[in-house]
Structure 1
Amino acid sequence: MTDQVLILGGSGRIGSKVAADLLAHTQAKVTIAGRNLAKGEHKSESLGDRVQFLTVDLADEKTLQEAISAANVVVHCAGPFHYRDAHVLKLCIENRVNYVDVSDHPSFTRKVLEYGDQAQAAGVTAIINTGIFPGISNSMVRQGVEQLDDAETIHLSYVVSGSGGAGVTVMRTTFLGLQRPFEAWINGEWRSVKPYSDREVVEFPEPYGKIGVYWFDMPEAFTLPDTFPVKTVITKFATVPRFYNYLTWSVARWWPPSWLRNSAVIEFLSYVSHFMTDVSDRFSGIGVAIRSEVIGTKNGQPTRCCSTLTLTDTAIAAGAGTGTVVELLLSGQLKKPGVWAIEQALMTDLFEQVMQSRGIEIQHRIEKEG
């Protein structure tokens, strides 16, 4: 029988890129689901004969359960995840259907991780935080950790050009991330950090070069120290053109917290930002760069392992990151009942295999220190 993949939020920017990746690398039939019939049917037609659109509202229990029960794998792309609960995963567990999501908000990640025992008992493999960051970035960290005898510090930095080819949902995620301080694992203890603080200049591959990056609350800030016995995990983010960073920093620094917790303010900021990036994307592009640095020891000597990745379309990259996980689930190469962050479930050899199949090249550099 032909595999069936259900993508919730499938007519959005990220969901449709996941669908495109699956069409290119698997034989599965894909159902993209959403609330907007006209948009969904147009998107399904543009993707081809193996794609159909299904009108699904996540609040409609009956329709959602019927759609999930007909699939081999469900891919949750219906963000922003700040507003979501674990209901989709719960239904997948009840129907014994494997689950993948592109979640990028820590509160959602914590909610779904609570279902690990239920998923394991049902034989359901649930892989969360897939995509580009978190996602491919987490697997790059795992690559680095495995190069060392002992890892002590993980430093992840991201830079995105303009909108990254994504929609207004990503803008919402950015501003939702400014609402309150978050906990970061620093020198073996959890410390409170202000979002978009502590600017640090790091060097990315061309065309980015040296970019100032800022603390940002991401799921990998707590899944990575849970996965690897390290003392420090740093997650920092920036955008280009660089003036967007100064605008975001100003909002985080000067706007009253009550404003940032107001949904109307978040919507205003999101749509204004999206309008601005529609203009600047023509000049900046919509690419992404990741820099993963793992510091520790090898053969008793201090060693630094640095990995970098640059791609020209952030949304396509996110689609590939998630598509690879679905491909491995469908083929049976990835099977680990429970709920897992991507770096906990995806072995490095499989990660390198699927990256190579998509022409995604990761640069590595290992340096002895001292």
Structure 2
Amino acid sequence: MGKKILVLGGYGTCGRRISRSLATMPSVECVIGGHHPHKAGQSAAGEISAITVNINDPASLRRAFDGVFAVVNTVGPFQERDYMVAETCAGMGIHYVDLADARTYVEGISRLQRRASNKNCLIVCGASAVPAVSSALVDTVVSEFDRISEIHTCISPGNKNPYGMATVRALLSYTGSPLRIKENGRWRYGYGWSESQVVSFPKPVGRRRVYLCDAPDLDLFPTRYGAQTVTYRAGTELKLFNYGLAVLGRSRRSGLIKNLPGWAKGLNAASHLFRGFGSSLGGMQIRVQGRKNGDELAHTLCLIVRDDNGPAIACSPAVALIRKWVEHGVPESGAMPCVGLLTWNEIKAEMVDYNITLVRV
């Protein structure tokens, strides 16, 4: 029997993909945990067991974590979560990884540093598209610069790519809210889903409009790379959704809407009425600017997504990290964001079964 890996929320959009990937590893016993374990069903890779666990109940968590090597937490939105799951893992000496892309949440994981170190376990936050994939892509070109001055990240999924309620709530959590951005070496404030730009992705994705969004990269990249300007933008494929979110953001800023995340259920249901429009084509782009030998230099890296494989970008870092821990051991202890823990090649290896390609412009 392999090392037991518990995937919390393993029947959700990302949890299902992660569970099926882990179940193919000979040295892993994958278990799904959640309020409704009967939803787990059968994995394409074989039988995956399931248990009932309440992530808001410390006693339930401790029972579920007994005998577990590592926990993968996919239960978002992390903008609305506390650290109970990660704290329980740290207290029991169990390795932990989550898919958080919430800026404050990822930054705050360091509060568990001492507890995790004392129990000799590793608590990793943000094994998702940001900051794990974005930082791994920047790392592939960092040696080509003497100095990095700007890093710009944008993501635009295809309208037909799967997403769930947690994604909608996470998006609404910062739409219209102030967010801090470093620009030309100074911090300033912008607003979520404002200051739009049109970005050109390689074919077949093409031009997409993207808007300011909050992400851990905005804090991590100025420190890690010395970048004086860091931005993160996202946009939907359909203009209707982009403009609608922009209007909601302005309404929130003006005080007309007090609780925008509370609209998530209705907006999620409405968005599914438009699933027949658009495509499954999406992209993630990282543009790095700086200097080399006194000359201005820029590199642009694009992940092009076909079919309905957009969520695989967010899922692959967690799978890669578990594979690395199981096959090679956990090299350190503590609590940290998922930055510098994985190379791009290690993440890319978990995308080989999906129609995702890297294009360097």
Shared fold (TM-score, shorter chain, > 0.5)? yes
**Aligned with residue 106 of structure 2, among 102, 105, 109:** 109
Hey, what does 1:154 align to over in structure 2? 151
Hey, what does 1:21 align to over in structure 2? 21
Hey, what does 1:368 align to over in structure 2? none
Give the letter for the 2:15 counterpart: G
Q: Tell me whether 1:266 sits opposite 2:261 in the alignment.
A: yes
Offset of 1:141 from its aligned partner? 2.0
Between stretches 77-86 and 123-132, larger displacement belongs to 123-132
SS in 1 for 2:177: coil
Hey, what does 2:49 align to over in structure 1? 52
1:234-245 → structure 2 map (5 Å cutoff):
234-245=231-242
Offset of 1:272 from its aligned partner? 3.1
Q: Tell me whether 1:178 sits opposite 2:175 in the alignment.
A: yes
Hey, what does 1:89 align to over in structure 2? 86
Contact 1:92 1:98 in 2 (8 A): yes
SS in 2 for 1:236: strand
Contact 1:6 1:75 in 2 (8 A): yes
Offset of 1:358 from its aligned partner? 6.5
Q: Which structure carries more helix by proportion?
A: 1
Q: Tell me whether 1:285 sits opposite 2:279 in the alignment.
A: yes
SS in 1 for 2:162: coil
Hey, what does 1:295 align to over in structure 2? 289
**Whole-Å Cα distance in 2 between the matches of residues 196 and 290 of structure 1?**
17
Offset of 1:171 from its aligned partner? 0.6
Superposition misfits of 4+ residues, deviation over 6 angstroms: none
SS in 2 for 1:282: coil
Between stretches 118-127 and 59-68, larger displacement belongs to 118-127
**Aligned with residue 344 of structure 1, among 337, 340, 349:** 340
**Whole-Å Cα distance in 2 between the matches of residues 348 and 148 of structure 1?**
18
Contact 1:8 1:78 in 2 (8 A): yes
- Root-mean-square deviation (CA, aligned residues, Å) is 2.3
Give the letter for the 1:341 counterpart: P
Give the letter for the 2:7 counterpart: I
Contact 2:319 2:350 in 1 (8 A): no
Give the letter for the 2:220 counterpart: T
Contact 1:139 1:346 in 2 (8 A): yes
Give the letter for the 1:169 counterpart: A
Offset of 1:254 from its aligned partner? 2.6
**Structure 1, residues 183-202: CA drift from partner, whole Å, max 9, x if none?**
11212222111111111111
Hey, what does 1:325 align to over in structure 2? 321
1:209-248 → structure 2 map (5 Å cutoff):
209-248=206-245
Percentage identity across aligned positions? 21
**Aligned with residue 132 of structure 2, among 132, 135, 144:** 135
**Whole-Å Cα distance in 2 between the matches of residues 124 and 22 of structure 1?**
20
Contact 1:334 1:346 in 2 (8 A): no
**Whole-Å Cα distance in 1 between the matches of residues 340 and 246 of structure 2?**
33
1:38-49 → structure 2 map (5 Å cutoff):
40-47=37-44, 49=46
**Aligned with residue 207 of structure 1, among 183, 204, 207:** 204
**Whole-Å Cα distance in 2 between the matches of residues 266 and 287 of structure 1?**
27
Offset of 1:244 from its aligned partner? 0.8
**Aligned with residue 194 of structure 1, among 185, 191, 194:** 191
**Whole-Å Cα distance in 1 between the matches of residues 14 and 43 of structure 2?**
15
**Whole-Å Cα distance in 2 between the matches of residues 80 and 247 of structure 1?**
21
**Whole-Å Cα distance in 2 between the matches of residues 305 and 64 of structure 1?**
45
Between stretches 333-342 and 239-248, larger displacement belongs to 333-342
With normalisation by structure 1, the TM-score equals 0.89
Runs of at least 5 residues in structure 1 that lack an aligned partner in the other structure: 366-370
Q: 1:235 to 1:334 in 2, by over 3 A?
A: farther
With normalisation by structure 2, the TM-score equals 0.91
Contact 2:205 2:282 in 1 (8 A): no
Q: Tell me whether 1:309 sits opposite 2:309 in the alignment.
A: no
**Aligned with residue 362 of structure 1, among 354, 358, 361:** 358
Contact 2:30 2:48 in 1 (8 A): yes
**Whole-Å Cα distance in 1 between the matches of residues 349 and 40 of structure 2?**
30
Hey, what does 1:253 align to over in structure 2? 250
Q: 1:17 to 1:93 in 2, by over 3 A?
A: same
Contact 2:176 2:191 in 1 (8 A): no
Give the letter for the 2:274 counterpart: S
Give the letter for the 2:305 counterpart: L
Offset of 1:157 from its aligned partner? 0.9
Hey, what does 1:12 align to over in structure 2? 12
